[in-house]
């Protein structure tokens, strides 16, 4: 016979409660873009994408587009935020746009000058995007 609603809710709550231990291990540490992260991302890129399809070229998308697509793929493929960040680090480092390292040093130099002159608030946000891995694909850390 049919289940009643209470039983179903109980089962749902049981499943939800089972997720709690996963939250405890939430890593709050921010991750800088570094070669090791990119290397790990390269390995993970080949491994996780291949679960469903052939890995697409990083050149197909811009940094910003990869952030959105990685969020989409994180949900679809049930990846963790850390996995998504590693893959994203690789994609952003190899998609033909300025490398994170170069952008970081340039941005820091420019930031110092502009802070002194009080200009460049908008550019400051842009610079920040190139020297930090975005949280987008990974979600909250």
Partner 1 sequence: MGINGLTKRLRFLLAAGAVATALWGQPETAFAQDTEEEEDQQPVLPSTAFVLSGYGTVGWAASSGEGGGNLFTANFNPIFLFQFEDRFLFEAEFEFELQGGVTETGLEYAQLDVIATDFLVFVGGKFLLPFNVFGERLHPTWINKFPTAPPIYGHHIAGFGADPLLPILSDLGIMARAAATPGRWLLGASAYVSQGPALEEHEEEEGGEEHPEAELPEVGFPASSGDNNKNKALGLRLDLALPPWMEVNFSVLNGDYDEEGLLDFTAYGVSAEARTSGFEFRGEYIQTRQEIETEEGFPELVRNGFYAQAAYRWWNFEPVLRWTQIFNSELQGEKEEDGARQMGFGLNYWLTASIAIMAGYELNRESGLALDNDRFIIHAAYGF
Residues from 85 through 124 that contact partner 1 (CB under 8 A): none
* Residue from 39, 63, 95, 120 binding partner 1 (CB under 8 A): 63
Residue 6 to residue 134: CA distance in whole angstroms: 42
* Contacts (CB under 8 A) with partner 1, residues 30-59: 30, 44, 46-48, 50-57
Is 134 a residue that touches partner 1 (CB under 8 A)?
Answer: yes
* Residue from 94, 95, 97, 129 binding partner 1 (CB under 8 A): 129
7 vs 35 by CB, closer to partner 1:
7
Q: State whether residue 33 is helix, strand or coil.
A: coil
- To 5 degrees, how large is the angle CA 122–CA 126–CA 129? 145
* Residue from 34, 69, 95, 106 binding partner 1 (CB under 8 A): 69
- 106 neighbors 123 (Cβ within 8 angstroms): no
């Amino acid at each position: 016979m049919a289940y009643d609603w209470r039983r179903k809710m109980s089962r749902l709550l049981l499943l939800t409660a089972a997720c709690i231990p996963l939250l405890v291990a939430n890593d709050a540490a921010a991750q800088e873009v570094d070669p090791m992260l990119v290397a790990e991302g390269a390995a993970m890129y080949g491994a996780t994408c291949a679960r469903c399809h052939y890995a697409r070229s990083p050149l197909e998308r811009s940094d910003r587009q990869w952030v959105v697509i990685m969020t989409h793929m994180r949900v679809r493929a049930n990846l963790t935020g850390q996995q998504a960040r590693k893959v994203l680090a690789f994609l952003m480092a190899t998609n033909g746009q300025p490398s994170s390292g170069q952008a970081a040093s340039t941005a820091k130099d420019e930031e110092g000058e502009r802070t002194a002159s009080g200009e460049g608030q908008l550019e400051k946000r842009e610079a920040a995007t190139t020297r930090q891995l975005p949280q987008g694909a990974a979600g909250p850390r």
